[in-house]
Amino acid sequence: MTVHIPTTEEEAAAIVIDHTARREPLSIFGGNSRAGFGNASSCEVALSARGMTGIVAYNPGEMVMTARSGTPVAEIEAALAASQQMMAFEPMDHRPLMATSGVPTIGGVFAANVSGPRRIIAGAARDSLLGVRFVNGRGEIVKAGGRVMKNVTGLDLPKLMAGSHGTLGLLTEVTFRVPPRNQTERTLVISGLTDEGATAAMAAAMSLSVEVSGAAHLPVSVASTFRAAHWADQSATLLRLEGLSGSVAVRMDKLTAAMGSLGSLSHLDESDSQTLWRTIRDAAPFADGTMRPVWRVSVAPSAGHRLVAALRLEVGVDAFYDWQGGLVWLRMEAEPDGALLRHHIAAVGGGHATLLRATPQARAENDAFEPQPKAVSLLSQRIKEKFDPAGIFNPGKMG
């Protein structure tokens, strides 16, 4: 595959204009570390943003950063750490799970709307995204949004670009919120709960005024992969608190008292807590070096465990939960069984499933993204035409 790696917006625009004129499809990506997303594409030429790098503007007092989209995530994180700030949405690194290589870029984070455990309290990547610049399918360089925290003037196109997986344009620059980093964190572990019991416990924790910033449940099959952990022979329900150290201590006492009757409790200190949540963020329990199908399923928090219970009656499946039970990581033992999974998602009240890892053959037989109702799908198609009239950006990737 030929890969164009422009270093400026203008170069990128020229490449797009040329391909639009010839109606030749372009595969759009940043570092391509999230290549597992979407339906397979048959593009012979790619356009990568990874040549457009560098932090353009960063004033910590404004809690806003602007960076070119090809800037490595690691570079962004290092700059933020130096000013005790962060991306609140905790973006996942997909490489271990998807068995991909490449350097994750900040543009890719937003193009895939990648959000981790803190999403339940701090919003998704799209909530932090304030402004974008992108090249559309006509080769125009478009700016949308801005660099202030309240900025929906006209239509909120940055939201539309977030999670559009390069099908609407090539992101060239992103501006996003960067709030203060938490001074410390601790995690409460409740051992031995069933999936259903854990769901109730997580909901109860989220209803307390202690600002739980991570709520996950590892059934015993998954918990046992944490060999070093003392809970390894039981399920583990995990509740994270973050903030100023004095404040975390006060809230942890309150949370511990409230959860005391539910099971045996233990605590993780800052370092163990950080390692654990990075593991959950990256879905590391299923980063097993195989190509067994992995789905990322999003449903109402109270529905996750019911979905898994229903599936277990029909197929071999392993699962763990983030986002208070609403984000279900599923690893199928054999086939992806997309139709069966989507049937059960509808039965528990709706949501969607995204196929993140599968063999090429399994991919060919399963839609990577949840099919949309007809009216919404038509609308999405019309929107796509307004950005990419020749249909050259990542054709077929989102269905």
Using CB under 8 A as the binding rule, the residues of this chain from 270 to 299 that contact other proteins are: 298-299
Exactly one of 183, 225, 266, 274 binds other proteins (CB under 8 A); that residue is: 183
**Residues in contact with other proteins, total (CB under 8 A)?**
87
**Residue 387 binds other proteins (CB under 8 A):** yes
| Least distance CB 343 / other proteins (angstroms) | 15
**Residue 369 binds other proteins (CB under 8 A):** yes
User: Which residues within the stretch 132-161 sit at the binding site for other proteins (CB under 8 A)?
Assistant: 136, 140-144, 146-157, 159-160
Q: Which listed range, 275-283, 305-313, 357-365, 381-389, lies at the site for other proteins (CB under 8 A)?
A: 381-389
**Residue 17 binds other proteins (CB under 8 A):** no
| Least distance CB 10 / other proteins (angstroms) | 14
| Least distance CB 2 / other proteins (angstroms) | 28
**Residue 20 binds other proteins (CB under 8 A):** no
* Three-state secondary structure string covering the chain: CEEECCCCHHHHHHHHHHHHHHCCCEEEECCCCCCCCCCCCCCCEEEECCCCCCEEEEEHHHCEEEEECCCEHHHHHHHHHHCCECCCCCCCCCHHHHCCCCCCEHHHHHHCCCCCCCHHHHCCHHHHEEEEEEECCCCCEEEEECCCCCCCCCCCHHHHHCCCCCCCCEEEEEEEECCECCCEEEEEEEECCCHHHHHHHHHHHHCCCCCEEEEEEECHHHHCCCCCCCCCCCCEEEEEEEECHHHHHHHHHHHHHHHCCCCEEEEECHHHHHHHHHHHHCCHHHCCCCCCCEEEEEECHHHHHHHHHHHHCCCCEEEEEEHHHCEEEEEECCCCCHHHHHHHHHHCCCEEEEEEECCHHHHHHCCCCCCCCHHHHHHHHHHHHHHCCCCCECCCCCC
User: Which residues within the stretch 331-350 sit at the binding site for other proteins (CB under 8 A)?
Assistant: 349-350
Angle at 320 between CA 317 and CA 321, to 5 degrees: 135
**Residue 246 binds other proteins (CB under 8 A):** yes
| Least distance CB 50 / other proteins (angstroms) | 24
**Residue 2 binds other proteins (CB under 8 A):** no
**Residue 115 binds other proteins (CB under 8 A):** yes
**Residue 320 binds other proteins (CB under 8 A):** no
**Residue 172 binds other proteins (CB under 8 A):** no
Instruction: Tell me whether residue 93 or residue 367 sits nearer to other proteins (CB atom).
Output: 367
Instruction: Tell me whether residue 61 or residue 360 sits nearer to other proteins (CB atom).
Output: 61
Q: Which listed range, 34-42, 215-223, 255-263, 369-377, lies at the site for other proteins (CB under 8 A)?
A: 369-377
Exactly one of 95, 126, 240, 344 binds other proteins (CB under 8 A); that residue is: 126
The residue whose two tokens read 């570079």 is 75
**Residue 197 binds other proteins (CB under 8 A):** no
**Residue 82 binds other proteins (CB under 8 A):** no
| Least distance CB 183 / other proteins (angstroms) | 6
**Residue 81 binds other proteins (CB under 8 A):** no
